[in-house]
Amino acid sequence: MELDEIDLREYLFVLKRWLWAIVLSAVLAAGVAYFVSSQQPLVYRSSGKMFILPAPSAGSGATADYAAIAASERLAQTYAELLRTYPVMERVIQNLGLDMTPSELASRIDVSPLQETSLIEVSVEDTDPQRAANIANEVMQVFILQNQALQASRYAASKENLQQQLAEIQAEMERTRAKLDALANATTQESVAERQRLEALLAQYRSSYATLLRSYEDVRLAEARTTDNLYVVEAAVPNPSPVAPRTKLNMVLAAALGAMAAVFLAFLMEALDDSVKTGEQATKATKVPVIGAVGIIAGRSEPAKLVAALNPRSPHAESFRILRTNIEFANINAPVRTLLVTSSGPAEGKSTLAANLAVVLAQAGRRVVLLDADLRRASQHRFFQKANTRGVTTALLQPRRSVSAHLIETNVRGLLLMPSGPKPPNPAELLGSKRMKEMLEGLQTHADIIIIDAPPLLALADTHLLSRMCDAAIVIVDVGSTKLQALESTVEQLRQNGVRILGLVLNRVSRGPSVYTLQYEYTSRYAEDGKRPRRRWWPWRQGRKAQEAAKG
């Protein structure tokens, strides 16, 4: 359950950290959709409806009714497909004089049977609303005429044959009547016999005519019973409101897709980013606990970053006091006289943290010596605004002179500073020398604890040589900058050198899914007179500015 909650917080933190990119992507996508939609022509849609009167089905009962319903649905689907066939499209183009191909016209027509009805809706989209209505109406009229012609062709041959036979019999009957009229006044025996024969023949013709006439009527009745009738029940009219482009809908969809793409890229970049983001992540990878968390210290110069001395009631100073307390608890069983402060790489804030840690230790009544062992890029003398003419190098090169002669008093009571001194040509040899070990032993008579600001471990060999002379070490982790693999390598090399690692210190902590972040936030809220600071809008901008100022 706890793991699921941590994962959820991490996801929410990623979304919050990349919120500006997600919003920007959504706005840009919506803007592009608006521009593209505004460049497209307006499209209008007109619709008409046709009613299908199917031929009556044979039989009776529920089975016949179900068959009729199924047949009606299939008939509607069939007509919907036939309405967009090539002959219909070609006839519509000819009747209206359209400048397009049948396939282009068919792409503008949408035919859909209305569910549970005998209606078919014919819709046409066009840039001209009147032309859209004309096309829809013409399509329905042309299809009705072609359907009638198709239905009539089924019985045309039978009807034509019967009509021809009726005409022939009727002609024979007329000729027979004419002959009878000619023999009306005949008195001879032969004439009487001929008259009787013609009357019998006329009766036969009349019987055959009646039979053919009944057959003809039966065919007509069968034609009427099996012919489907189509009617236009609602003619299409011009619609003044365009249906496309749907600018608002396109903008909403584009914004959603843009935001989803940004979210995907954000999680992808987070997955590819191997920097340390949380204290839990660092502890899990190194098996070393986090003993402190410090926020972003704004300041463009080293003296401005010495917040523990300049503003003892600030949230940052309180964070250093928490770090001091955790270090003191770690010293209960094995007291630490020489504490090494290092990091994996440069510009991770170790010098700033070492200076402020030395200040809060001295403020607690401890005698502290802050030793700047970074002989290549010394900075501790600038924090306390002291000259760098004497220090570690002069003490190592002048063994006969007392170590105290190379210490400099600071404005913080109980804190002595040993700067790096003049830059030597061989820093590694000096730090790894026997004289360095003797000097550290001599400094212990002047201090309860010695804070050593060492160079980055992975960058130089200096810290490897120096770490073997120290009682313990703390590793500074720049959240969002220190690589996880580099941190693991740093901790592993310190262990191989036999150094006792007190813990990790998170630097430049901002908002995030970490209990150490929460600790820092609570410290920030209640460090100054127990008042909660006013929440700033756009905290990511404030954090970025402060981080730039800290690095500057």
Classify residue 370 as exposed, middle or buried by CB count within 10 Å of its CB (0-12, 13-18, 19+): buried
Looking at the chain, the whole-number percentage of residues with pLDDT higher than 70 is 85
Give pLDDT, residue 484: 92
Q: What pLDDT is stored for residue 36 in this prediction? A: 93
Contact indicator for 279, 493 with CB cutoff of 8 Å: no
Residue 63, pLDDT score: 45
Q: Give the H/E segment covering residue 343.
A: strand 338-343
Range name among 167-176, 385-394, 533-542 with the lowest pLDDT average: 533-542
Count Cα neighbours of 311 within 13 Å in the Cβ-side half-sphere.
Answer: 13
Query: Helices in 432-536 by DSSP H: which ranges?
Result: 434-443, 462-467, 484-496, 515-526
Please tell me the predicted confidence (pLDDT) of residue 274: 85
Residue 474, both tokens: 């703390």
| Predicted pLDDT at 68 | 54
Contact between 500 and 472 under an 8 Å Cβ cutoff? The reply is: yes
| pLDDT tens column, 24-58 | 999 999 999 999 999 999 999 999 999 887 655 54
For residue 544, is pLDDT > 50?
Answer: no
**What integer is the mean pLDDT of 310-326?**
91
Amino acid 100: pLDDT? 92
Q: Between 129-152 and 62-82, two packed helices, what is the crossing angle to 10 degrees?
A: 120
Burial 329-351 (b: 16+ CB within 10 A, else e): ebbeeeebbbbbbbbbbeebbbb
Report which DSSP code applies to 389: S
CA–CA distance from 476 to each of 205, 283, 473, 509 (Å)? 123, 13, 10, 12
Q: Is 229 exposed, middle or buried (CB count within 10 Å of its CB: 0-12, 13-18, 19+)?
A: middle
Write the pLDDT tens digit of every residue in 142-199. Answer: 998 888 787 777 676 777 787 888 888 888 888 888 888 887 777 777 887 888 888 8
Helix (H) or strand (E) run with residue 146 in it? helix 129-152
Ranges assigned E (strand) in 38-98? 43-53
SS3 52: strand
The pLDDT confidence band at residue 6, using thresholds 50, 70 and 90, is very low
At residue 396, does pLDDT exceed 80? yes
pLDDT per residue over 251-296, tens digit each? 999 999 999 999 999 888 887 888 898 888 899 999 999 999 998 8
pLDDT (0 to 100) of residue 11: 80
Residue closest to 257 by CA, chosen among 37, 16, 32, 41: 32
List, for residues 84-137, the tens digit of each pLDDT value: 999 999 999 999 999 999 999 999 999 999 887 888 999 999 999 999 999 999
Gap between the Cα atoms of 212 and 206, Å rounded? 10
Q: Which one has a higher pLDDT value, 424 or 535?
A: 424
Neighbours of 248 (CB within 10 A): 12
- pLDDT tens for 215-237 read 778 767 666 665 557 889 999 99
pLDDT score of 71: 62
Task: Give the tokens for residue 456.
Answer: 């980055």
Calculate mean pLDDT across residues 524-544.
44
Half-sphere exposure of 200 (CA within 13 A, CB side): 6
**Averaged over 395-405, what is the pLDDT?**
87
Q: Which of 206-220, 223-237, 418-432 has the highest mean pLDDT?
A: 418-432
> What per-residue confidence (pLDDT) applies to 225?
61
